[in-house]
Every structure is written in C-alpha cells, then in structure tokens.
Amino acid sequence: MSKRVVLGVTGSIAAYKAAELVRRMTAKSWDVWVMMTEAATKYVGPLTFHALTGHPVAAGKCEALPTAAFQHLDLASCDALVIAPCTANVLAKLAVGLADDIVTATALACTAPLVVAPAMNDKMWRHPATQANVAMLRQRGVRLLDVEHGELACGMVGAGRLTDLEIILTEVARALGT
Ligand SMILES: Cc1cc2nc3c(=O)[nH]c(=O)nc-3n(C[C@H](O)[C@H](O)[C@H](O)COP(=O)(O)O)c2cc1C
C-alpha cells in the first residue's frame, strides 16, 4: 500500500517550490495530500496542488473548511507529516502547540514523524526566538532540517533559504522507513 504523506505549505516566498516537491513525492508513488495556511494561498493557488495530487486541498481556518468537519484529524492520520516551506510563524506555533488553522491543528493531532523545512529571511532565522523554537522542536524529535546559506528572495545573502528538495525527500523517505 502506498504511504500517505501530508504536506503543509505555509506563507513563505519559497511556497512555489512546494509544487515541485509534490511532483517529486508523487513520482515516488506516495499518496500526497496538501494543506495550506491562508497566507500560503497568496503565493501558490490550491488548484496547483489539487491538480498535482488528485486530492482536494484544505486551506486556512479549520472552521471555514467546506468539507469534512474533522479534516485535521483525517489529515493527521498519515505515515509522515511534512511542513515545507515552514515560516517563522508556524515554527513558533509548533513549538508552543498552537492549533489555529488546518496546518497547525493537524500537526498537533498527528503522531506520525514530522519533517520541517524552514525558509525565511536570515535575520528571522538567526533571531533568538526562532533559534529557541528550532532547538525545542528538535529536542522533541521533530526532523527539523537546516536552512541553506545563499541569496534570499529579499535580496540579502545569508542563512534562510529552503534546503534542497532532495534533502527533504531523503528525510521523508527515512521517516517512512522506505
Ligand atoms: C513577499 C513576502 C515573502 C515572505 N516570505 C517569508 C518567508 O520566506 N518566511 C517567513 O517566515 N515569512 C515570510 N513572510 C512573512 C509571512 O508571510 C507572514 O509571517 C505570514 O503571516 C505567515 O503566515 P503563516 O505562517 O500562517 O503561513 C513573507 C512575507 C512577504 C510579504
């Protein structure tokens, strides 16, 4: 049976890279479902992910979703949960256990391995608050990948780029035990 992988996409400029990530995940015959924060939908349309996965996309607040009432619990029932790209905001919410939208509510309800690939401006990444959240999540067993150093969308050069998609895929495969 194919592995069920749920991908959370958040409001980073790197959200467009999630479309290619999904394409490579489906090429591995994983059953991929996508959920998005409301901010993420400003960067990439849910229709893109719906078309790539063949599944409807849940986005925004849980109570505003048009489909199943307990969609966060349904999505939480997966073999691996991936959040890529993950904003500083969602990273912070994961660290303290907030659950105010479909991505964070699903993450809180999920017992499957969690792979997180952050992406943000270098100052946001280096901020002590973000670094404390990263340390806390890693200590809790979250497979939190490093960011890459390089040219950032904001025009700066520094640490904050979404890591290479192959690194994310390798970590997810490891989490799935495949
Ligand atoms: C053009 C643009 C690009 C952004 N890129 C990032 C980013 O890469 N990482 C990040 O943490 N926040 C980024 N932000 C800020 C987030 O979009 C903002 O914090 C938003 O509230 C995040 O919502 P979410 O975490 O619910 O997806 C960006 C904002 C703008 C306007």
Per-residue confidence (pLDDT) for residue 170, from 0 to 100: 98
DSSP label of 147: P
Catalytic residue among 78, 86, 110, 154: 154
Spatial contact of 130 and 93, defined as CB atoms under 8 Å apart = no
Q: Is the shortest distance between the CB of 39 and ligand 1 below 6 Å? A: yes
110 is catalytic: no
Could you give the percent of the chain with pLDDT greater than 90?
88
Domain architecture of the chain: domains with CATH: 4-176 (3.40.50.1950)
CA distance 109 to 80: 13
The whole-number pLDDT of residue 68 equals 65
Q: Round to whole Å and give the CA distance between 19 and 101.
A: 21
Q: Give the pLDDT confidence of 48-90 residue by residue, as tens digits.
A: 999 999 999 999 998 887 776 789 999 999 999 999 999 999 9
Inter-residue contact 145 to 6 (CB < 8 Å): no
pTM for the whole structure: 0.97
Strands of the 114-118 sheet, one edge to the other: 58-59, 31-36, 4-9, 80-86, 114-118, 143-144
90 CB within 6 A, ligand 1: yes
Q: State pLDDT tens for residues 11-46.
A: 999 999 999 999 999 999 999 999 999 999 999 999
- pLDDT of 33 reads 98
Q: Determine the pLDDT at residue 70.
A: 86
Mean of the per-residue pLDDT values for the chain? 95
Q: How many helices (H) and strands (E) does the chain have?
A: 8, 8
First-residue to last-residue Cα distance in the chain: 12
Average pLDDT over residues 111-126: 97
